[in-house]
Chain A
Amino acid sequence: MEEVLYNVLGAIATFLVAFVVGMTYGGLNRKITARVQNRKGPPFYQNFIDTLKLASKKSAIHHGVMQHFGPAFLMVTSVMSLLIVPVLTHNQWFPNLNFHGDLIFLLYIMVFGPLGMALGAGQTGNPNSAIGITRGLSQMVGYEIPWVLALVALMIQYHTTSIVGLMAVQAQSGTWLMFSSPFAFIAAVMAMLGMFSYSPFDVVIAPAEIASGPASENGGKYLFTMMSSGSVFAFVKLTLYVDLFMGGADNIVILLVKTFALYMIPVLYSLTTVRYRTEQSIRWFWGWPSFFGLLAILQAVIF
């Protein structure tokens, strides 16, 4: 009974932490981008104000029941992934509903969101949404290859398919997986650039070209849901990487430091690049990142 209570309250607490941290990271992204471009940007809590404004829009315009599927599926994906990924180790306030094989489960749950978005975008009938979704799903075909190769290499090398198992390996041997399987780390970080949809892989959003792709008919509360789920999902991805490659975190401060350090990679890279077209990004993903993924599998099999 106590365990159930801790689980339920812990789930709510995890969601709140993820929401707040994800939104703050989004605001920090805008602030850092602004400072690099030699101007003062918005305050770091700007994303909260944006979501509060979106939630207080008075009229709602929707095109049918299926349009609800888009943002709803995105939110469901984020929350489900959040509950699987262990946020803090050895803490009863942040339970993780882990089981054996949850790494494979996570692999296909993370793809769920854009598929729901495709259903919603089809219902709106806006051709811009359709183009945006097609590009997003094609790009996902690109970055899934190095991501899966890296994870499979990890699974082969350490004979376990659960995240908790990989964290236990790191705690036991004392070195992070970043150093003992470096090729997997490099391939996974390159795949992370595609997952975030920042430049150069932001052809999905493309504001001036296809009027922001999937989000073009969604305003008001739909956009609020999409922004929130985007922030939560960003937190989920960063925490997953920290757990897999950097040894997890014992308390909140270390978790924030590690995730922020990892978050700087997509942010700073996005400031310096221009947008790739869809076929160019797929070709890049099947080039060097997949090569590093194959090297990771070779290293796992041979050594």
Chain B
Amino acid sequence: MMKELKEHIIRRVKANFTEAEENNDFTYDRLDFTVKKEVVPSLLLFLKEEMGFKHLSHASCVDWLEEGELELVFILWSPKDKIKVFVRTRLDRDNPVMDNMDNIWPQLHTYEREFREMFGVQFTGLEAPDEFILEDWQGPPPFRRDFDTAAYAEKTFWHRPGREDAQDVRETIAYRDGEDIPDFAKKYSR
């Protein structure tokens, strides 16, 4: 029953959006569509209104550094048929621009603010203040893979010396204070 339902959905989607590529092996309980970015708002609206995928579970962004693209993934769920659908698009990494979609689901407003701050994706028509979580942030978007957080932290903050030798805290304190570690605790020390 599930397989026929899924095939029915794939047929309906392909009938209306001929460019959608689908990537399905029915071993996983989900459907997967990859479309171009201009088609995404109408595809999401079609899935929400006509195919019954009323619930947006999640939206996330993947950084494909080697291919030079950012990928947006939207996960939809149909409470009636209990099927998941993944909708994927690719954006150009140097200038990622996308349409604002929060008239379809209001929670996309928060997701889009997060993508704008953390990945640098620009959404045309998004009316929101610039700052989301990071206050006074002047660096590159921090969630991209070419942002080296360890080097940034090394440069900006002062570190306490002594971390490099990686001593065991319990042994050091016991040694310094002249105490004895009991036998049952010794196996947890390195």
Direct contact of A and B (CB under 8 A): no
Question: Chain B: residues with CB nearer than 8 A to chain A?
Answer: none
